[in-house]
Amino acid sequence: MEPSRARDPRLVAAQLKAWALEAGFDRAGIATLEPLAHGEAFVRWLERGEHAGMAYLERRVEARLQPATVLDGARSVLCVALRYAPLEGEEEPTGDLWPRVARYARGRDYHALMESRLDAVAARVAAAYPDARTRRYVDTGPVLERELAARAGIGVVGKNTMLLDREMGSWFLLGELFTTIELAPDEPLAELCGSCTLCLDACPTGALVEPFHLDSNRCISYWTIEHRGAFTDDAAAMIGDWVFGCDVCQEVCPWNRRRHALPAADHPELGLPAERRELDLADLLALDRDEYVERFRGSSMKRARLQGLRRNAATVMGNRGEPLHAAALAQAANDEDPVVRDAASRALERLGARAEPLPVD
């Protein structure tokens, strides 16, 4: 084995990035692990309560600000990106019945997919450098991944707080492999937004209160994915026709709409599978536990849980205002789940209809 002191950080960095691309990632870069430059802004964001009900973000704050602490002896981090749109042959589902879902969540759970690929890279690192240790993260643990990825040259934070790249736009997911090996870092990218404010102007709820500043209390993604329990009237109105997540600020971004886009991403696992392509709003509202487990096995949408998906479906029906949804909502307004019952009853009120009580045996 080559002594660690004799390793060339540039050559080893190039090797790990090549392994990441061979594992199936679309981009890879190296970042150093000094304290995060925007750590104080993150703390102030928490203090203002703009993380809404995501109390887990308040845990291990010091580790989030000091990335070197997530792995004893860590010296570098390999950051990776996986494009999830546009996909080869993907057709955008349309119509009044289809549940509107953020693109990243339509196919296989990206956590499992990216973790398996990072594990493949980690195995190669272990074989080549037995004295090294690694730890991987994919949207988990105390890691502020966008700042690390920006430091690694994967992208630059845009005004909508998403990471943005000239070639990939913002349709990509992030993962990290921390290591005790010293690696030569990549150069950060230059700012890309300029004077553009299309994302701020298009945000339907005003969650983007100013450039680079997101208030989760007004974010559709927060309410449809992270929030547990019933909606307030304001929250119900805010989610519009989104059943899971929201892509509006990405859809309007010029870097995602440019004429000369990259070829389609080659990750069919992230495409919408047949078992969910056939699932309309009424089907989603009527899901029972067994069908939910079967249809959403291995899906990121399970993050919202069965109750949340059914609540969201009922709310969207009311927001769309289509009378054709009245019968499904009337049945759900007598549901045994109080959260679903509440959402369906409110939706019926917006349709100007009412639920008939179920007959008593």
Identify the burial level of 88 via C-beta atoms within 10 angstroms of its C-beta, where 0-12 means exposed, 13-18 middle and 19 or more buried: exposed
CA-CA distance, 276 to 107, in Å (whole number)?
9
Of 66, 72, 73, the residue nearest 142 (C-alpha): 66
Q: Is 335 a catalytic residue?
A: no
Q: Give the span between the Cα atoms of 11 and 8, in whole angstroms.
A: 5
Backbone angles phi, psi at 41, to 5 degrees: -65, -35
Strand blocks (E) in the chain? 27-31, 76-83, 100-101, 134-137, 156-157, 163-164, 172-179, 208-210, 213-214, 242-244
E-strand ranges in 169-234 read 172-179, 208-210, 213-214
- The H-or-E segment that residue 181 falls in is none
For residue 185, the 8-state DSSP code is P
Helix (H, G, I), strand (E, B) or coil at 92: coil
Question: Alpha-carbon distance 332 to 345, whole Å?
Answer: 8
What values do phi and psi take at 104, rounded to 5?
A: -65, -20
Nearest to 111 by CA among 222, 223, 227, 269: 269
Ramachandran region of residue 183, left (φ > 0), alpha (ψ -120 to 50) or beta?
beta
> Which among 328, 251, 339, 335 is positioned nearest to 96, based on CA atoms?
328
Active-site annotation holder among 139, 241, 280, 283: 139
Which residues belong to the active site?
139
